[in-house]
Amino acid sequence: MASGTIHYKFKSAKTFDTLAFDGSFIAVSELKRLISEKKGLGKDHACELVLTNAQDGNEYDDESALVWKNTSVIVRRVP
């Protein structure tokens, strides 16, 4: 299976980080989980991650929505 990458950064960050996964797309819920694990946010249940497409500014509000590989997203932590 082909692997894909997502480029993400927190709103306050200056540079994008890369997250690799298997396949051509990834569900928003899975992407949030992987970002939380990579950044060590798994224990902080007081905040939720909100993902926004960096190119068109659309927010991913459906947890089952698919994000295609090579997409850049902006991550915000909200209470």
Q: What is the CATH number of domain 3-77?
A: 3.10.20.90
pTM of the model: 0.89
Task: Give me 77's structure tokens.
Answer: 């932590």
CA 34 from centre of chain? 8
Instruction: Tell me: pLDDT of 13 over 90.
Output: yes
The predicted pLDDT at position 52 comes to: 97
The pLDDT score that the predictor gives to residue 43 is 67
**What is the domain partition of the chain in residue ranges?**
3-77
Tell me the per-residue pLDDT of 30-67, one tens digit each, with 9 for 90 and over: 999 999 989 888 665 678 899 999 999 999 999 999 99
CA distances from 8 to 1, 25, 49, 63, 73 (A): 22, 14, 12, 17, 5
pLDDT score at 63: 93
Contact 68, 26 (CB under 8 A): no
Cβ atoms within 10 Å of 35's Cβ, excluding its own: 19
